[in-house]
Amino acid sequence: MKNIIKISIFIIIIFIVAVFFMGLNKDTNYNTNVLTGKKISNISLEYFDENKFYKEEDLKKNNYTLINFWAAWCAPCRKEHPLLMQLSKEKNLKLLGVNFKDKKKQAEIFLNNLGNPYDFLTKDELGKSSVKFGIFGIPESILINKDLMILKKFVGPLSAEDYDSIVEIIN
């Protein structure tokens, strides 16, 4: 009887360890390929300084839009900011900034000090809108076309390679 209990406990421990390690290999939260080709919908983001909302119709006016989720308190956001400033010069691309869970004053200081690359600036004070976009952390960016199709999602700060990829897609 004691042997059966020991074997059962051993099998349970092996099962738990196996499930744990299998879970480590299946991180679908950051698998951005599953989003490519999907359409975004039901967009309603409150403008940063106005009591109006940025909606789907607004996005459809742009050939390409890079939706960038950022915050003043986010060090990686500061790191990617020079690339966003460069991207703001691209004629075929509009930048939509979504200020994520930030204090308005801090966000204003951040943009005044580093420059404002955004054509449109919105806010997500509670983080609820960002969840609808599949955002798990910041910075994250989503490149869409005027049909609201996700062309690419970027997790983490944009890199020089990401910049090149965006420019290649929009030109």
Give me the active site residues, please: 74, 77
- In this structure, are residues 59 and 144 in contact, taking their beta carbons and an 8 Å threshold? yes
Give the H/E segment covering residue 132.
helix 128-132
Q: Compute the distance between CA of residue 116 and CA of residue 170 in angstroms, rounded to an integer.
A: 21
User: Is there a contact between 77 and 107 (Cβ–Cβ < 8 Å)?
Assistant: no
Q: Which tokens sit at 29?
A: 């939260």
Report which secondary-structure segment, H or E, holds 14: helix 2-24
Q: Are 127 and 100 in contact (CB under 8 A)?
A: yes
Q: Which residues contact 142 (CB under 8 A, 6 or more apart)?
A: 35, 40, 66, 67, 133, 150, 152, 153, 154
